[in-house]
Amino acid sequence: MSEPALEAEGRQAPHKRLAARFGRSESAVAQTLIAPGQLLLLFVIAFPAIVAIYISFTGWTPESGSLWYQAWKYWLWFDNYWEALSGGAFWHAILRTVIITVLAVAFEFAIGFALALLFLKQFRGRSLLTVVFLLPMMVVPAVAGFIFYMLFQTDGPVNAGLTILLHDVLHVTGGIHIGWLTDPSLVIYSVTIVDIWQWTPLMFLILLSGLVALPEDQLNAARILGASYLQQLRYLVLPMMKPIILIAVIIRAIETLKLFDSAWLLTQGGPGDASSTISVYLYKTTFIATRWGYASAVAILVLIFVSILGMRAIRPIEAATRETIEELATAEPADEAPSLEQEIEAGAVAR
Amino acid sequence: MLRITGKVVSIAVLGAGFLFPLYWILTMAFKPQDEWSPVGHVYWTPQHWTLDNFRQIFGVAQSTGFFTAAPTDATGPIVHSIVSATGGTLLAMAAGVFTAYGIARFRAGGSFLPFQILQLRMFPPVAIVIPLLIMYSYLHLVDTYWGLILIYGAVTFPFAVWLMRSFFVEVPREISEAAIVDGCSQWGAFFKAVLPQVRGGLAATALFVFILNWSDFLLALVLTSNRVQTAPVFLNSLQSAGAGQEYGPQAALGLVLIVPPAVFGLAIQRYLVRGLTFGAIKR
Amino acid sequence: MEDQEKLDQHGDSETQENGASLSRRTFVASAGAAGAALLLGQGSAAAKGWSRDAYNRHLGKLALSAGMIGGPTGFPGASRYQYPANSAEGRAILGLKRLTNNGKKPITLSWRIWNGAVAQLNAPYPTKTAPSVAALLEKEAGVKVKFVLDTPDDNEQKNLQTISTRDGSFNILQTDYEHNGDYTEAGLMLPFDQYVAEYKPDWSDPKYGYAGGATTTALFNKYAGHYVSVSMDGDYQVWGYREDLFDNAQNQKDFKAKYGRDLEFPKTWDDHAQVAEFFTQPNNKLYGSIDLKNPGWGYVNWMMRYVSTGAPNRQYFDPKTAKPLIGGAAGIKATTEHVASMAWTYPDTLSKSWPEQYAAMGAGQAAMASMFSNCTKFIVKGSPLDKGFGQYIRTELAPGRMIGGKLVRRPVIYFNANFAINAFANKALHEAAYLVLQYCSSGRISAWYTGNPAGYFDPNRVLQLNDPLVRASYKPYACDELKTIIPRTAPSIAGMVGAAEYTLALDTNLQKALSKQISPEQAMSSTVSAWEQITNRHGRAKQIKALKAQAAAWPTLI
């Protein structure tokens, strides 16, 4: 071959070689990339799960005097599982957890949505106020639990404040001595209040970002056609926000189901078991009653329960993520997401 | 007009409600012992401002605990929190960034892997505490930095993956392909071409993960005892049936604990929504 | 520091009275030749004007009294705590000296201990120039003790961690007597009968040992007949009451008018109900009886009401069958009374513990309370706990019941700081660990540190209760009352494996009854079925055996 031809081929050849190799190297690289993560998970999730299943079939505790792998000496078959499923304690704990989750998420959504609506239009000091409303989210949950422990004391500021309200506003005598932390029928709500305080800001942020992204033209059209504010909300805003609302609610629900910190710090799950969420129940069974075999069975049941829930919950998130990816694929690349102000200005100009 | 007043009032009421607990811990940190929780009386503002509580938690003053030996010096636990949170963050980032790139670029692990990782977040950590303790005791990791770092890294790994994935997905394929054409290997493309594009995202993810690790309570409660006890666990120990309720030092320590997440959180405000929704919502 | 000066002076006069004084004259007469030479070599002390500090420094250099081989020096009255070779302390020190080759091969032991008590062992007492117990150990035997701190709330979890990780980094563990069964069966605590036989501690000695003698030793230190832990504490429950309220003429008149009898500290639980009701005036921020009710701490007050339903005791289990005895009328009555007593205490009582209780007593907000014996030590002027009412607190035996013409009063003891040898630690140091514990728990040494207000190890022996420093600290009237309280005190659920589980089941059901979630009958029947499950799990035969051995711990004195 002539030299120029050789050169030409040489220039093309690297392309071809890489193209040929692209397929194989890609998967090798891919596997290597996810390897460290998989190792981490194997170590911390897979192996513990096996150990937990093993122990859950026994009545072993560290105080039995034997090491864990000798737990077969205390073999119980399914006794622990039966005790959990047929006894009341386990189901009550699940019920409490579900109640707290439903209430907390519902209120977080309602208040967060109201706040988002209030913050939608620009006003003076909005950025500063946004920071104020974000602060509760930054508080370490353990510290939040401690703050409300102080606030909810029977002689504490909440009751004192309510008493002042009663006296000065309603002109009724008598003090308010609500046992936020000691009345067994109230403690669940006290725990819920802490969660609402801490995570409403998150809902607020998410819903605000969703509201801001709503297409202005449709809303304008509806207003011109005479729809009232409430009608706009009901027929336009909420349906359009559905994917975002769903994600926010599901994610908060997932996290609230695991609630431990505030329930523990407020009342240690008490009085009795009145505020024992499933995490608190597991903790008490493990470290106070020290019944590790039984606790492992409860843990496995919880994992099963959560996996089932998880699979149902994943779908909407999956769908929403796919949507956003598609949006990105078709949208023009932006250097930076436009700030709230810019978007509103753009909307105002368009109007 | 009515609408605007209504708006102002609602925001004011809600704002007051959300701010009041923060106001309370702020003022409590400066109250002397007499004013913490006197029976039948509430001090809405400190009558005698004092720095004693801060002096106590930084080990500069004698504790006001009923027994002078009861420690309120929190400098050790604070250091432990910093070390373990930082270590956990580095671990989560190291594993997470690679995994995220693998998923974003190559769909590694199939399309279900991301959601498997998400499912991990649903497990209450207390459910794996028993086997974790057993494993850790075998490996002598109980009450050590490495023990904490390992579990922190694992527990925040899903956040790192999902967040970084959402950033990687924004980087056009062409960038890495161009790098490969220029003669880089896949790894070179990753490190030299793609990674610099997501610098902002890396920082945001790292800070976000740090906040999560810093806020952990349950895992430290279970896995540490006195060598690497972290600050939130120490905070809880200042209020025990044995020592009484030391509101002042607790409030001071609580304030100190709030500072890093508050500062970092406000710095990455833009990415908070993305982070807390696993990248599903990218505002 | 006012108290210190008073103590010193008190000590000075007391020792001069006893004649075993460290005055210069007797010192020269009684000290050995070497000591005399030392003193004489320094020149006549009489010629110098001594300041208190200089005097103390001088005392610090003094040698021991005649016949004594060790003990603290350097403060007035120190000779009370010095010991001869033929004593529990002496034997311990000699044993340790042998192990450390007279200090040439020093030993370091690691000791996990509650942070609220450690000062009694490592802070100089009673003066700044006096040694501390730990310093003395190091000086006399070359044994250095490293204290690792934890809290009563954490302690169970820490011990559980130690068991599950087989952690041998501590030589001496903190525990409480209720856990003797559990931790021995778990392999955490090393039984040490052989050391007891060899070194002969003084726990059952009539002069130097626990008040209540062998009964108390069986209560605190034994499980199933073996020695497993060492008590250095006395968590006896005293009923504190406000003398000024009871002596107040107006109160006496009103009470007599309302109930037809004189106002005095109640002898029976029915009396107690009346007196508590009388003194409960929430508008005046006064509560009749604020004995603890919170989880983990309040169950002892139920036990007092329960155990006194039988003479000499009603036990929790039938020793022959290990079946619970609490499900009958007696248990229900005790629970009903326990629940009813919520009416006489402050709000939020279920989440408040003893520091708040002490503060309430010190602030004058309660007429009666069942408290630890250190209430008179801590609720004193100068402490944040006292708002001026601590001086009026007097102590009494718990109320009881008339059974067969006799008044049966049964205070109950729980917790109690016990220490044990960590079986997982270095075997070569087990003997040294035991000897340190024998030393710290013997009569003279424990009389020395118990008075120290910096910690909460409380008295458990008559020697301490008669000691001037202890009496000054705990108040003489309280010390004398303790002499009647200790021999009548019953155990909580202890001396058997699973004690913590039984107690937790009882406590949880009591909490539910106190917060009105279930009735007293339900609480008792729930507890009984939980107890039966626990017994079956651990093995009934084993429990019967343990209960038989535990019989030695129940008091018979009425």
Q: What is the pLDDT of residues B19-51, one digit of tens each?
A: 999 999 999 999 988 788 776 678 888 888 988
Contacts of A244 in chain B (CB under 8 A): 281
Provide the shortest C-alpha distance from residue B2 to chain C (in Å): 44
Residues A233-279 pLDDT 10s? 777 788 888 888 888 888 889 889 999 999 998 888 878 788 899 99
Top-confidence residue, A214 or A322: A214
Any domain includes A345: no
CATH code, domain carrying B148: 1.10.3720.10
Same domain, A151 and A273: yes
Same domain, A10 and A146: no
Beta bridge partners of C81: none
pLDDT above 90 for C157? no
Helix/strand/coil for C22: coil
Residues B183-230 pLDDT 10s? 888 888 888 888 888 888 898 899 999 999 999 999 998 888 778 889
Amino acid symbol at B115: F
Any domain includes A171: yes
Separation CA C221–CA C181 (nearest Å) = 11
Q: Please report the DSSP string for C379-434 in residue order.
A: SSTTSTT-SS-GGGEEEEPPPEEEETTEEEE--EE---EEEEEBTTS-GGGHHHHH
Same domain, C192 and C265: no
CA torsion angle B270 B273 B279 B280 (round to 10)? -130
Any domain includes C278: yes
pLDDT above 60 for C25? no
Residues on B contacting C at a C-beta cutoff of 8 Å: 33, 39-40, 64, 66-71, 133-134, 136-137, 140, 142-143, 225-226, 237, 240-245
pLDDT for C58 equals: 59
pLDDT for A322 equals: 65
Same domain, A26 and A160: no
Residues C463-516 pLDDT 10s? 999 999 999 999 999 999 999 999 899 999 999 999 988 999 999 999 999 999
Same domain, C290 and C173: no
Residue C506, H or E segment: helix C499-514
CB-based contact A33 B106, cutoff 8 Å: yes
Separation CA C302–CA C484 (nearest Å) = 21
Separation CA C303–CA C493 (nearest Å) = 9
Find chains touching chain C: ≥3 CB pairs under 8 Å.
Answer: A, B
Residue C147, H or E segment: strand C143-150
pLDDT above 70 for C149? yes
For chain C, what percent of residues have pLDDT higher than 70? 89
Residues B114-132 pLDDT 10s? 777 777 778 888 888 888 8
Q: Give the tokens for residue C456.
A: 């909460």
- B56: confidence class by pLDDT, cuts 50, 70, 90: confident
Top-confidence residue, C194 or B66: C194
- A143: confidence class by pLDDT, cuts 50, 70, 90: very high
CATH code, domain carrying C243: 3.40.190.10
- C114: confidence class by pLDDT, cuts 50, 70, 90: confident
Compute the average pLDDT of residues C539-556: 92
Of A115, A137, A295, nearest to B14 by CB-CB distance is A115
Q: Outline where DSSP puts E strands in C153-282.
A: 172-176, 222-223, 226-227, 230-231, 237-242
Residue C304, H or E segment: helix C299-307
Task: Report in angstroms the alpha-carbon separations of C450 from A77, C50, C301, C466.
Answer: 52, 29, 25, 12
Of C351, C509, C512, nearest to A267 by CB-CB distance is C351
Any domain includes A340: no
Same domain, A166 and A24: no
**Low-confidence winner among B190-194, C329-333, C373-377, C482-486 (lowest mean pLDDT):** B190-194
pLDDT for B107 equals: 78
pLDDT for C280 equals: 94
pLDDT above 90 for C108? yes
Compute the average pLDDT of residues C49-75: 70
- B2: confidence class by pLDDT, cuts 50, 70, 90: low
Cis preceding-peptide flag for C126 (omega within 30 of 0): yes
Report ipTM (2 d.p.): 0.88
Any domain includes A347: no
CB-based contact C515 A287, cutoff 8 Å: no
pLDDT for A27 equals: 75
Top-confidence residue, A67 or B76: B76
Could you identify the residue written with the tokens 């911390």?
A44
Residue B239, H or E segment: strand B239-240
CB-based contact A118 B131, cutoff 8 Å: no
B264: which residues sit within 8 A by CB, 6+ positions away? B207, B208, B210, B211
Find chains touching chain B: ≥3 CB pairs under 8 Å.
Answer: A, C
Separation CA C173–CA C112 (nearest Å) = 5
Same domain, C224 and C241: no
Top-confidence residue, C282 or A191: A191
Any domain includes A117: yes
- Rg, C-alpha atoms of chain B: 23
Burial B7-24 (b: 16+ CB within 10 A, else e): eeeebeebeeebeebbeb
Tell me what the pLDDT averaged over chain A comes to: 80
Separation CA B279–CA A41 (nearest Å) = 21
pLDDT for B8 equals: 85
Q: Which of C74, C69, C70 is nearest to C22 (CA)?
A: C74
Question: DSSP character for A235?
Answer: I
Q: Please report the DSSP string for C55-114 in residue order.
A: HHHHHHT--PPTT--B---SSTTGGGG-B-SSSHHHHHHHHHHHHTTTTTS-EEEEEEEE
Burial C455-471 (b: 16+ CB within 10 A, else e): bbbbbbbbbbbebbbbb
Any domain includes A327: no
Burial class (CB in 10 A: 0-12, 13-18, 19+), A33: buried
CB-based contact C115 B70, cutoff 8 Å: yes
C73: which residues sit within 8 A by CB, 6+ positions away? C59, C60, C62, C63, C64, C82, C131
- The answer to whether C391 and B74 have CB atoms below 8 angstroms apart is no
Any domain includes A125: yes
- The answer to whether C370 and C237 have CB atoms below 8 angstroms apart is yes
**Count of domains forming chain C:** 2
- B137: confidence class by pLDDT, cuts 50, 70, 90: confident
**Count of domains forming chain A:** 2
pLDDT for A337 equals: 45
Helix/strand/coil for B60: coil
Residues C265-307 pLDDT 10s? 999 999 999 999 999 998 888 999 999 998 889 999 999 999 9
pLDDT for C447 equals: 93
Provide the CA C232 distance to its chain's centre, in angstroms: 7
Same domain, C278 and C399: yes
Any domain includes C7: no
CB-based contact B244 C285, cutoff 8 Å: no
Same domain, C515 and C374: yes
Q: Which of C328, C330, C385, C377 is nearest to C356 (CA)?
A: C385
Domain that holds residue A10: 1-34
Top-confidence residue, C449 or A40: C449
Same domain, A104 and A16: no
pLDDT for A25 equals: 67
Phi-psi region of B257 (alpha: psi -120 to 50; beta: other; left: phi over 0): alpha
pLDDT for C155 equals: 83
For chain C, what percent of residues have pLDDT higher than 90? 65
Cis preceding-peptide flag for C312 (omega within 30 of 0): yes
Provide the CA C22 distance to its chain's centre, in angstroms: 31
Domain that holds residue B122: 76-276
Q: Please report the DSSP string for A10-70 in residue order.
A: HHHHHHHHHHHHHHHHHHHHHHHHHHHHHHHHIIIIIHHHHHHHHHHTB---GGGSS-GGG
Residues C128-139 pLDDT 10s? 888 999 999 999
Any domain includes B152: yes
Q: Give the tokens for residue C438.
A: 């024998």
Same domain, A26 and A109: no
Interface membership of C500 toward A (CB under 8 Å): yes
Burial C508-544 (b: 16+ CB within 10 A, else e): bbbbbbbbebbebeebbbbbbebbeebbebbeeebbb
Compute the average pLDDT of residues A296-323: 80
Helix/strand/coil for C131: coil
Same domain, A84 and A6: no
Question: DSSP character for C253?
Answer: H
- C343: confidence class by pLDDT, cuts 50, 70, 90: very high
Compute the average pLDDT of residues C135-157: 86
- The answer to whether C314 and C554 have CB atoms below 8 angstroms apart is no
CATH code, domain carrying A172: 1.10.3720.10
Beta bridge partners of C239: C370, C396
pLDDT above 50 for A350? no
Separation CA C393–CA B186 (nearest Å) = 81
Domain that holds residue C124: 68-228+415-476
Any domain includes C35: no
Helix, strand, coil percentages, rounded to 5, for chain B: 70, 0, 30
Same domain, C219 and C242: no
Compute the average pLDDT of residues C213-219: 90
pLDDT for A132 equals: 87
- Interface probe for C, chosen from B33, B37, B225 (most Cβ of C below 10 Å), is B225
Find chains touching chain A: ≥3 CB pairs under 8 Å.
Answer: B, C
Of B94, B127, B277, nearest to A302 by CB-CB distance is B127
Same domain, C97 and C147: yes
Any domain includes B81: yes
Residue C450, H or E segment: helix C443-450
- Range list of H helices, chain A: 3-41, 47-56, 79-86, 88-120, 126-138, 141-151, 157-164, 187-212, 216-224, 229-232, 238-257, 261-267, 278-287, 292-330, 340-350
Compute the average pLDDT of residues A38-45: 80
pLDDT for A323 equals: 63
Contacts of C148 in chain B (CB under 8 A): 226
Count CB pairs under 8 A between chains B and C. Answer: 92
pLDDT for C53 equals: 60
Q: Give the tokens for residue C260.
A: 């037809």
Interface membership of C161 toward B (CB under 8 Å): yes
For chain A, what percent of residues have pLDDT higher than 70? 83
Tell me what the pLDDT averaged over chain C comes to: 86
Compute the average pLDDT of residues C48-53: 56
Could you identify the residue written with the tokens 């209504």?
B6
Could you identify the residue written with the tokens 């709030």?
B258
Question: What pTM was computed for the model?
Answer: 0.81
Separation CA B146–CA B158 (nearest Å) = 19
B32: which residues sit within 8 A by CB, 6+ positions away? B46, B48, B50, B52, B248
- The answer to whether C513 and C239 have CB atoms below 8 angstroms apart is no
pLDDT for C524 equals: 97
Compute the average pLDDT of residues B52-74: 69
Any domain includes A124: yes
Same domain, A183 and A88: yes
Phi-psi region of C73 (alpha: psi -120 to 50; beta: other; left: phi over 0): beta
Q: Which of C518, C197, C216, C251 is nearest to C367 (CA)?
A: C251
Amino acid symbol at C453: P
Task: Please tell me the number of Cα atoms within 13 Å of B272 on its side-chain side.
Answer: 27
